[in-house]
Amino acid sequence: MPDQPHSHTFISVIIPVRNEPAHLKNVLAALEAQTYPPDAYEVIVVDNASDIPLKDVAACFGHARLVYEARRGSYAARNRGIEVAQGDYLAFTDADCIPYPDWLEQGVRVLHQGEACGLVGGPIEMFAENPLAPTTAELFELLFAFQVKLYLEKRHYAPTANLFTTRATFEQVGLFDGSLQSNGDTEWGQRVHAHGCPQVYADTVVVRHPARQTVEELLKKHRRIIIGQNQRLESLGSFRQIITHPRFWLSLIPPLSRAVRILGQGQHPLPQRIAVVSLLFRIYWMGLSHKLRLLVARRRFQPPASR
């Protein structure tokens, strides 16, 4: 690791990416403009089997280093980034995020303040292309996406779209589960919590994230999340172990309170509020049907109990 003064600990930023050259250009531009000393950080772009060449994009930015990970999945890509990173401090964001100019400075400051800090998460500000007239999908994300403070307080994780941690934490609790297509940040964060490592929410550590504009994009995202949730349920073991786990029963609770809250918000037109509630239940039923298929498959192939 390059030698740095204590106040400017060298930090590696890790970004997994697949086929997003325009987004990648934006995030790399934001990282070039950081207030953190230019010689105290690197940016590792992990190309996760892109169909579109990204080498020329990365080459335009002095801090960027492009590496490759053939195994599909953003968590496998992040693990590859950790493997080649030079820093003892590690920051994670996504290709479609735009960090604030002082993102690295603030993240490192919080890591310094917390004794043996396990992880730091901060706000992920969603924005619509036209803030005065968001699409239904954009409004859904503006209302629901990335409630990071709640995630840390109630579920003990922070999304990898805005996450700071240390190499020592990975050495203590292990890397991300590279087999997961989604929810790997949840699984890893809960491991950090189980090891007793402090988790900090810092409202000064901020990235921006464009809201998904179409229902199709939104459903694709939630389908990936549902698959990741089911992968974690499958890892519990038998049919009985799945249906007796609290995580399974919590996932069955319908989103009634959120629906009522949306319908009561007068700042958006009623037809759009109804459309958002419809989307909310569509995603809920999609998750329910995936879980039902998982249970049927697990029940069908479960070996008979020995007598």
The sign of the dihedral angle between the CA atoms of 200, 178, 170, 84 is: negative
Is residue 225 a part of any domain in this protein?
no
Q: What are the pLDDT digits (tens) for 192-246?
A: 999 999 999 999 999 999 999 999 989 988 888 887 777 777 776 666 777 777 7
Question: What are the residues facing 42 on neighbouring strands?
Answer: 12
Enumerate residues 6+ apart whose C-beta is below 8 A from 112: 7, 9
CA distances from residue 232 to 60, 194, 239, 293 in whole angstroms, order as listed: 39, 16, 13, 15
Q: What are the pLDDT digits (tens) for 64-113?
A: 999 999 999 999 999 999 999 999 999 999 999 999 999 999 999 999 88
Is residue 307 a part of any domain in this protein?
no
Q: Does 66 share its domain with 158?
A: yes
Is residue 222 a part of any domain in this protein?
no
Question: Tokens 């993102």 — which residue?
Answer: 103
Is residue 145 a part of any domain in this protein?
yes
Q: At what angle do helices 184-194 and 74-84 cross, to 10 degrees?
A: 60
Residue 189: pLDDT over 60: yes
pTM of the model: 0.83
Domain end point (choices 210, 226, 247): 210
Q: Does 244 share its domain with 201?
A: no
Is residue 155 a part of any domain in this protein?
yes
- The CATH number that applies at residue 144 is 3.90.550.10
Is residue 224 a part of any domain in this protein?
no
Beta strands in the chain (DSSP E): 11-17, 41-47, 64-68, 89-93, 98-99, 119-121, 124-127, 162-166, 199-201, 207-210
Q: Does 45 share its domain with 180?
A: yes
**Three-state SS for 129?**
coil
pLDDT value, residue 6: 43
* Mean per-residue pLDDT, 115-134: 92
Using CB atoms within 10 A of its CB, is residue 2 exposed (0-12), middle (13-18) or buried (19+)? exposed
The sign of the dihedral angle between the CA atoms of 179, 10, 200, 47 is: negative
Q: Does 13 share its domain with 58?
A: yes
Q: What are the pLDDT digits (tens) for 263-276?
A: 888 788 898 889 98
Q: Does 10 share its domain with 159?
A: yes
Q: Does 255 share its domain with 198?
A: no
* Mean per-residue pLDDT, 279-284: 90
pLDDT value, residue 267: 81
pLDDT value, residue 7: 60
Question: Tokens 């550590």 — which residue?
Answer: 205
Q: Does 175 share its domain with 246?
A: no
* 257: containing domain: 236-300
Q: Report the domain count for the chain.
A: 2
**Three-state SS for 146?**
coil
pLDDT value, residue 86: 97
